[in-house]
Structure formats: C-alpha cells, structure tokens
Amino acid sequence: MALMPLSESQRALLLELARQSVKSGLAEAHPPAVSASPHPPLNRPGASFVTLHRHGKLRGCIGSLEARRPLRVDVAENAFAAAFRDPRFSPLRAEETTGLELQVSVLSPPTALRFSGQADLLSQLRVGSDGLILQERGSRSTFLPAVWETLPTAATFLEQLKCKAGLPADYWSETLKVWRYTTESFGAAYLR
C-alpha cells in the first residue's frame, strides 16, 4: 500500500513536533503531551522513524515499524527516543543542538515479499526506494531506504541487514521472512 503524500504544512507540523519533543527532553526529561491536529492524516495511526544527525554524522535513530498510535504521537515519541534513548549513544546534551538536524520518515504499511531463494529475493529489491524488514527465529532488523546511500547494491544491503539481525552475512534459510516498505522523508535543522 502506498503512502498518501503529506502536504507542506503537515510536514512542517511533524518537524515542529519532533523539535518540541527534543526541546522538552532537554528541559523536562520527558516528551511533551501532543494534542489532536487540525490535519486528519496526523491523527490516524502511523509509523515513523526520527533520525538525528549532528554535523552530518548519525546521532540517533528510533522508530516504529507498525502503525499503533496517531502519527503525530509516534513522531513526538520517536524524536524523544532518538535523542535520549538510542542505546548506541549517550543522551543528547543541550550543547549538542548546534549542528543538529532532524529527519522524519513516515512509513508505508509493510508488504510481505514472496521469494524462492536469495537470488529471487535480490531480484525483487528496488534499489534506492525499498526499506526492508528481515525476520528469522526471533531476530528482526530493518534498514530505511536512506541506507541505500551507503550500501548501494542489493547484495550488500541484504548482507548488512542480516548482520544487523545478528545473523552471518551469508546466512540463508527457507524460514527467513522479508517485508518491504517505502518512506516519505523530510528534515530540517533543529535550530532555526
């Protein structure tokens, strides 16, 4: 299922929610309460990722793969988590907001891929546009479509996704499950 494109005002509102969530985390150590939006799509269940970069380097990324809460709430919660709960980084400090950029990625519902083997799976991947979810024996990992910028071939993308799930790069099993999704991504500087 494809995403309904967001308007510029809806994008701006989501970015402002992400910004306010980080500001609230710095000032009060919790995300802000998020009221209903005048934009109906932002009140519907949605899945998002919020990615923080500081001076061009990853500083946090947290998200949801399934739509379980209103999109506006999902963005605010994920922005807070990306800034303060990403286990790869220490919690964001106020002095780190200089050079900080926020990116919001709104996910389409995932679609299961059917494939007869690794070569068949690789032939189905849309380089540059697919986000993937990989699941095997209780392990699960995902790469957003933006990861194609650093892993530009289908084989490398899949190998690294397996490694992220704790599997060997050359791992294959008939029980491996893969879903594809797309994103609508947009960003802005934290300070404006």
Whether 8-108+183-189 and 111-181 share one fold: the answer is no
Compute the distance between CA of residue 111 and CA of residue 124 in angstroms, rounded to an integer. 13
Whole-Å CA distances, 72 to 43, 58, 87, 177: 6, 23, 23, 29
The mean pLDDT value for 151-162 works out to: 97
Question: What is the residue extent of each domain of the chain?
Answer: 8-108+183-189, 111-181
In the numeric block, the tokens 């400090």 are attached to: 93
In the numeric block, the tokens 């379980």 are attached to: 68
| Residue 47: predicted pLDDT | 97
Q: Which fold has domain 111-181?
A: Dna Ligase; domain 1 (3.30.1490)
pLDDT tens for 65-79 read 999 999 999 999 999
Give the pLDDT band (50/70/90) at residue 192: low
How would you classify residue 17: left for phi > 0, otherwise alpha for psi between -120 and 50, otherwise beta? Answer: alpha
pLDDT tens for 101-137 read 999 999 999 999 999 999 999 999 999 999 999 999 8
Architecture of domain 8-108+183-189: 2-Layer Sandwich (3.30)
Helix or strand (DSSP H, E) at 55: none
- CB count in 10 Å sphere of residue 108: 18
